[in-house]
Amino acid sequence: MKVFADQLPAALAKKLPRVVIVAGDEPLQHRDACDAVRIAARQAGIEEREVLDVDANFAWGRLLEAASNLSLFATSKLMEVRLGTHKLGQEGSKALAQHAEMLDGSDDVLLLSMGKLDAKQQKSAWFKALDKHGLFVPVWPVDNSRLGYWLRDRAALHGLQIDLEAARLLGERTEGNLLAADQELQKLALIHPQGTRLNVESIAQGVEDSSRYDVFNLADACLKGEPSRASRIVQGLRSEGVEAPIVLWALSRELRTLLSLHQHLDQGQSFDHACKTQKPMIFDKRRPAYQKAIKRLSMKRLHKLLLMAQRLDLAVKGASAVPLWPGLHDLAMTMAGGKGILAETAWTYRISANN
């Protein structure tokens, strides 16, 4: 049964399942979910714990041996299989399916910790066999639109109250890094008495700007039509020393994807089918962002934006006088629905706001 990370403690309080699969690559929520399982196991009287760290040379027979070995001191144990980003392969898939069969009549608990599971993996035999016995906890990064609310709730766990605007400021200063945000809240909890209500000024004075920017954050902001966020990320990427060609590659890739989607839609295909034709395929979670961008950016406008990208590519190679980083800022801002900073004469073509 699927349970999201914020619902896991309540689900564990009702009943400790035989299996919990925690899958995803957001480290803070992943860590918290695994900790919640360990706490629930201790509260259920399970004192023994065995950890199996999977690497490239891991022998999956160890899992079955550990499950069959009876302890002299306990009737049950918590078995942790830490897969990380390693692939299961045939041996791992078979071992997990066999382990699921051994769970009937057993009091042991299996905590399987791993990276993201796609839809195909969730239909596999090993997953279905384990899922019958417990919970599946997918761990997703917190969407930027929900980040302020998430941080407001997180502050309460540290004994603090925080205004929504203050929570959003904290989110801006730690964008994409929930661990950093949580560490800042922990520091604030040490400084302020329990129950203190933090406002924007408190956050501005007490929180270091530990933003972690990457080109995927930038692409997300451009697709969703968030010009102020796109501008902030471009400036952050530049200050952190990210190479301009990497930023240009990310923006150009999204432009080509949007053009391809337009072409499929013009051929009478559905939006979902058009998303499936892309390589790599556009997953369900990202489709609303692409849908917003398609409505905002026409074919004609996308072609002009690609011309901007081509001029910037020449600038990278030293064959164009267009200022590189201001040009990247313009490209990102225009994709996101904002206005650039370069004079219109800096380009050999015009980007009409009406196209």
Residue pLDDT tens, the chain, 355 long: 899 888 999 999 999 999 999 999 888 999 999 999 999 999 999 888 889 988 888 898 888 888 777 654 557 889 999 998 888 889 999 999 998 888 877 788 999 999 988 888 899 999 999 999 999 999 988 888 888 899 999 999 999 999 998 898 888 877 668 888 888 898 888 788 889 998 888 887 767 655 556 788 899 999 999 999 899 899 888 988 888 998 999 999 999 999 999 999 999 999 988 888 887 668 777 889 999 999 999 999 999 999 999 999 998 888 888 889 999 999 999 999 987 766 444 554 444 444 4
* CA distance to 146, 287, 353, per residue, from 152 (Å): 10, 27, 37
Domains of the chain: 5-139 (3.40.50.300), 144-206 (1.10.8.60), 215-346 (1.20.272.10)
Q: Give the pLDDT of residue 176.
A: 62
Count the residues in the chain. 355
